[in-house]
Chains A and B, each alone.
Chain A
Amino acid sequence: MNSKSQAGNAFSFSWWHETVIGVLLLVVLLVAGWLVPGFLKPHSQLLLSRHLWEFAILALGMTLVILTGGIDLSVGSTMGLSAVVFGCVQTSTGSLVAASLSCLATGLCCGAVNGGLISQLRLHPLIVTLATFAAYRGIAEGWSQGNSYSRFGTNFSSLARGSWFGVPLPGVIFCVMAIGFAVFLSNTPNGRFLKAIGHNERAAKFSGIAVERIRFWLYATSGLLAGLASLIYVARFDTAKADVGKGFELDVITAVVLGGTSISGGRGNILGTLLGLLLIHETRLFVSRYWRSDELQWIVIGSLLILAVLAYQLIARKPRS
Chain B
Amino acid sequence: MHRPICWLASIAIAVSIFGCAKHDSSQTTGTSGETATASAGSHKLRVALLPKIKGISYFSSCFKGAEEAAKELGIDLIYDGPTDGNPRKQAEMIEQWTIDGVDVICVAPNAPDVVASAMQEARAAGVSVITWDADGTAESRSFFVNQASAQAIGEGLVNAMLEDLGPDTEGDVVIISADATSENQNAWIETMKPALAKSKLKLATIKYPGENASNALADSQDVISKYPNLKGIFGISSVSFPGAAEAVEQSGKGGKILVNGLSTPNDMKKFVQNGTVRSFILWHTVDLGYLTIHVAKALAAGELKPGATSLKAGRLGELSIVGDNVMLGDILVFTKANIDQYDF
Contact = CB atoms under 8 A, between A and B. Distances in A.
Contact of A289 (B9, B31, B88, B100): B100
Contacts of B20: 296, 299
Contacts of B9: 306, 310
Contacts of B117: 157, 161, 236-238
A296 B24 contact: yes
A206 to B, nearest CB: 35
28 contacts: A37-B39, A47-B95, A51-B95, A146-B179, A146-B180, A161-B121, A236-B117, A237-B88, A237-B91, A237-B114, A285-B96, A289-B96, A290-B32, A291-B28, A292-B28, A292-B78, A293-B24, A295-B83, A296-B24, A300-B17, A300-B21, A303-B16, A307-B13, A307-B14, A307-B17, A310-B13, A311-B10, A319-B1
A299 B24 CA distance: 12
B25 A291 contact: yes
Given A148-B181, A236-B117, A307-B14, 4 more contacts: A290-B32, A294-B81, A294-B83, A310-B13
Contact of B100 (A38, A237, A241, A300): A38
Nearest to B181: A148
Nearest to A51: B92
Contacts of A290: 25, 32
B337 interface: no
A147 interface: yes
A172 to B, nearest CB: 19
B334 to A, nearest CB: 30
A148 B10 contact: no
Interface string A269-293: 0000000000000000100111111
Nearest to A233: B88
A51 B2 CA distance: 39
Contacts of A147: 180-181
A: interface residue count bin: 35 or more
Contacts of A306: 9, 13
A309 B3 CA distance: 13
Interface residues of B, number: 48
Contact of A44 (B6, B91, B99): B99
Contacts, number: 101
A150 interface: yes
B36 interface: yes
A48 interface: yes
B10 A291 contact: no
Contacts of A319: 1
A292 B80 contact: yes
A241 B111 CA distance: 11
B208 A146 contact: yes
B162 interface: no
A151 interface: yes
The dominant DSSP class at the B interface is: helix
Contacts of B114: 150, 237-239
Interface string A242-261: 00000000000000000000
Contacts of A146: 179-181, 208
A310 B14 CA distance: 11
B83 to A, nearest CB: 5
A288 B2 CA distance: 36
A20 B28 CA distance: 32
Nearest to B9: A310
Contacts of B283: none
Given A285-B96, A303-B17, A239 B113 contact: yes
A122 to B, nearest CB: 36
Interface of A: 37-38, 44, 47-48, 50-51, 145-148, 150-151, 157, 161, 236-239, 241, 285, 288-296, 299-300, 303, 306-307, 310-311, 313-314, 319
A61 B213 CA distance: 35
Given A47-B99, A239-B113, A292-B31, A314 B180 contact: no
A54 B182 CA distance: 26
A288 B80 contact: yes
Contact of B32 (A47, A157, A292, A313): A292
A150 B79 contact: no
Contacts of B179: 146
When A and B form their complex, which 5 residue pairs have the shortest distance between CB atoms, in order from nearest? A150-B113, A292-B80, A146-B180, A310-B10, A44-B99
Nearest to B11: A310
B88 A314 contact: no
Contacts of B39: 37
A48 B92 CA distance: 8
A288 B1 contact: no
B189 to A, nearest CB: 15
A50 B180 contact: no
A125 B71 CA distance: 56
A285 B181 CA distance: 29
A305 to B, nearest CB: 10
Nearest to A303: B17
Contacts of A311: 10
A294 B54 contact: yes
Contacts of B100: 38, 289
Contacts of A161: 117, 121
Contact of B6 (A37, A296, A310): A310
A38 B39 CA distance: 13
B93 interface: yes
Given A37-B39, A148-B111, A237-B88, A291 B180 contact: no
A310 B3 CA distance: 10
Contact of A291 (B14, B24, B121): B24
Contacts of B6: 310, 313-314
A291 B93 CA distance: 12
Contacts of B121: 161
B7 interface: yes
Contact of B113 (A151, A291, A295): A151
Given A237-B91, A293-B80, A314-B6, A38 B99 contact: yes
A86 to B, nearest CB: 15
